Amino acid sequence: MHVIYGGTFDPVHHGHLRLALEISDRLGVEYVSLVPCHIPPHRGQTGASSGQRLELLRLAVANEPQLRIDDRELAREGASYTADTLRQLRAELGLDEPLAMVVGTDAFAGFDRWREWQQIPELAHVVVVRRPGPALDPTGEPARLLAERGVGGPEALHGRSCGYFLELDPPLLDISATGIRERIGDGRSPRYLMPDQVWAEIRRQGLYGACPDGNF
Ligand code: ATP
């Protein structure tokens, strides 16, 4: 089974990395592919460029065989739509290989507003990771999908190429990229929230307002 986990990763942190490893273990797959998404220019101004986010991700997963990077969305011009990414992957994997995408409940709450959302279960399974915050609206389409097409465990996903929804509730680290950017901007250390190599590179390049000469 091929598993993708998308995000802005601006910057990547231990919350993302731990979750990806948990998913890999719980789904019983060899590796999970992290898929950094394109950021619209108005948001990019405060964070790092696509190339910089990718470089930080590469440093973060170096020497970790269970985590890989798929940079296809950065190579495409304009906005990245999940349906386009899944269609490309499906074409590469063939019709029989199970494909799954990971999404947090916060993002999944708006699933029925995603472009071509009805196509998504035709292309992949959806693994919904429970995150703190409001529960899904029980009368909405995302909750209905989970109820009608939800499966109890990962085994079912291996037996079909697409179409199932699986809810997982792994332990999550309380870390956010927004909090990290704010910390760095305020001159406080974000150490231990992300791999040391990532923080060293952020400082070296002066990203997010980091002071290149500052101490760890
Ligand atoms: P930002 O604070 O900039 O919104 P973020 O830290 O939430 O960023 P994203 O890159 O937007 O990170 O998230 C990518 C994916 O990782 C999303 O599905 C999000 O739900 C999930 N995620 C983010 N932080 C954590 C965390 N601490 N633990 C588990 N999953 C997380």
pLDDT (tens digit, 9 = 90+) per residue, 12-21? 999 999 999 9
Q: Is the CB of 104 under 6 A from ligand 1?
A: yes
The side-by-side arrangement of strands in the sheet containing 67-69 is 67-69, 32-36, 2-7, 99-104, 125-129, 165-168, 150-151
CA of 85 to the centre of ligand 1 (A): 19
2-209: CATH topology? Rossmann fold (3.40.50)
pTM, two decimal places: 0.94
- The stretches in the chain having pLDDT less than 50 are none
Atom of ligand 1 nearest to the CA of 19: 29
Q: Residue 150 burial (CB < 10 Å; 0-12/13-18/19+)?
A: middle
Q: Is the CB of 16 under 6 A from ligand 1?
A: yes
